[in-house]
Amino acid sequence: RAEAKNGAYLVQYGSLYPLFVAYFASLGGAGILCIFLKWRHSSSMDRWRALYMLIGFGLFFVLSFVLTIILPGLMERDVTSDYTYMAFVIPAALTAYAMLRYRLLDVRLAARRLFAYLFSLALFGVPVLALFWALQGRWPENPTLNKVISALLLAVALGVAPAARELGYRLAPLFLFPGLYDEEELLHRVSEMLTTPDMRAGIRESTRLICERLGLSGLTVVIPREIFTGKGDWMAGTRRGEGGLASFHEISFSGSPLHRLITRPAVLEDIGAGRESSSLEEKMREAGLVALLPIRGSLGEVGVLLVGKKARGAVDPIDLEFLGRFCERAGIYIENYLLSNYLLTQLEEARKAQRKVEELDSFKTDIINVTSHEFRTPITILQGYATILKDRYAQLSQEKRQECLENIIHSCHRLTALLDQFITISRFQNKETPMVKQVIPVRKVFEDLKNELEPDQSFRVKSQVPAEGVMVSTDRSYLTMLLRNILSNAIRFSPPESPVIMRADLEEDKVRISIRD
């Protein structure tokens, strides 16, 4: 109950007044506790910010409690509660000082945003509201029409609001602090850079532009090895050195905890207590970083953004908000690049598989041609001598019969050798017959091959081996079979009078064997 008596304003409280006092005290105390916990778990500049805010709101809470509860209760009249509003100057002033002194917020950017909001409101909101008031009472006898007009004006307001906001943000940099970066314009330019097919160039150019505009000491995009499917962590960005800003691209094998994927931003001054947090804070300070921001695509995190220190003051929330929007675009850009790279890899593998199939098909055709050619000669000989024996057996002498039979047997041996070669090659390709390596002299292999030949062929074959000899570690049967086939072709498809040279040359830890006709 309140009344004025004898020139004084008297207040008599009811039964719920203690509950009101408890509510006010708990609400204010909870706020003070939150600021205290923030101060306790902060460090560096953020700790000083929280300290100023704690002092300001602490004094305001105490003064408010004294002016609105204690003094009116002692004096039995309320002459001090109105001064509570004046006491709010204390926390407001200390908070503003903390913001300006320790750059909790870039006031210039905040003022620009406020101007953009007020400009949008004045340009679109005021005319729409004035039109609403002008038309609201125009037809009092027709409430339905008034409702329709109200709905149409609401629809117009909702429709033009995004355009008004966009226009306000575009015009604000022209009137307030034109030297600062324009968030929308900078984001638009960065988005254009993140469309180049070369991801390294896109990341380097965009981070360089952001470092220039925001005054950052560095900005690095990291794609961990588990995302990039490489041996190390993929890194690209911009650093500020003695010669100014320099873009870079590298692969890191350090396995630094700063390169791990994160799900939420980690700001140096807001890192909480704990062993893991202390380790992360130490690593960030060593690297000169003030924040780690997740780079997220449509399917999840694909990287992390390492934010360096700001040349003037601390990185404020507006800067972090802009960098967060950059991370959104970079995440989609990186995800699309990785997906395209994966598809190109799959396409290249498919092409390789197709080429291999074509080569196998061509090899199969060559095998058929070679096989038919190799088998045709002994089969023709078999057929010819068998026909002679069948048709002219009685007319042939015993010597001619024996010659025909020897040629038939020789052709059979040749067919058997050809079949053995194909079977051996097939088993070797299917790894059914393992290689048995042994150290053998090349000179001995050459001599054995030469001794297998007919006398009229053997004299054409010459061998050239270094005087000290050459030893090779290989499977003797496979090497002999391979050289036999090459030597046979060289003899068969070269003039009878031309020599065939088998040569062995040492090349460091290898041996080159060649057959030249």
Asked whether residue 331 carries a pLDDT value surpassing 90, the answer given is yes
Per DSSP, the three-state class of 20 is: helix
Per-residue pLDDT tens digits for 238-258: 999 888 899 999 998 888 889
Instruction: Look at residue 209 in the predicted model and tell me its pLDDT.
Output: 93
What is the average per-residue pLDDT within 138-153?
Answer: 78
Q: What is the pTM of this model?
A: 0.51
Residue type, 213: R
Per-residue pLDDT tens digits for 11-21: 666 778 788 77
219 falls in which pLDDT band (50, 70, 90)? Answer: very high
Measured between alpha carbons, how far is 262 from 440 in angstroms, rounded to an integer?
Answer: 61
Between 376 and 177, name the one with better pLDDT: 376
CATH number 1.20.1250.20 is the correct assignment for the domain at 438-516: no
Spatial CB neighbours of 119, under 8 Å, sequence gap ≥ 6 = 168, 171, 172
Between 144 and 210, name the one with better pLDDT: 210
Instruction: Look at residue 177 in the predicted model and tell me its pLDDT.
Output: 63
Q: Where are the alpha helices (DSSP H) in 393-475?
A: 398-429, 442-452, 455-458
Residue type, 279: S
Domain spans of the chain, in order of start: 2-101, 107-175, 438-516
Rg, C-alpha atoms of the chain:
46
Measured between alpha carbons, how far is 289 from 158 in angstroms, rounded to an integer?
Answer: 42
Instruction: Look at residue 4 in the predicted model and tell me its pLDDT.
Output: 67
Per-residue pLDDT tens digits for 168-218: 777 776 676 665 677 788 889 999 999 988 899 999 999 999 999 888 999
Asked whether residue 3 carries a pLDDT value surpassing 90, the answer given is no
What are the DSSP calls for 29-56, one per residue?
Answer: HHHHHHHHHHHHT--HHHHHHHHHHHHH
How many CB atoms neighbour CB 128 within 10 A? 15
Report the chain's mean pLDDT, rounded to a whole number: 81
Query: Is the Cβ–Cβ distance between 9 and 78 less than 8 Å?
Result: yes
What is the average per-residue pLDDT within 260-286?
Answer: 76
Q: Which helix (H) or strand (E) holds 136?
A: helix 126-136
421 falls in which pLDDT band (50, 70, 90)? Answer: confident
* Beta strand spans in 274-390 (E): 289-297, 300-308
What is the average per-residue pLDDT within 274-287?
Answer: 76
State percent of the chain over pLDDT 70.
Answer: 87
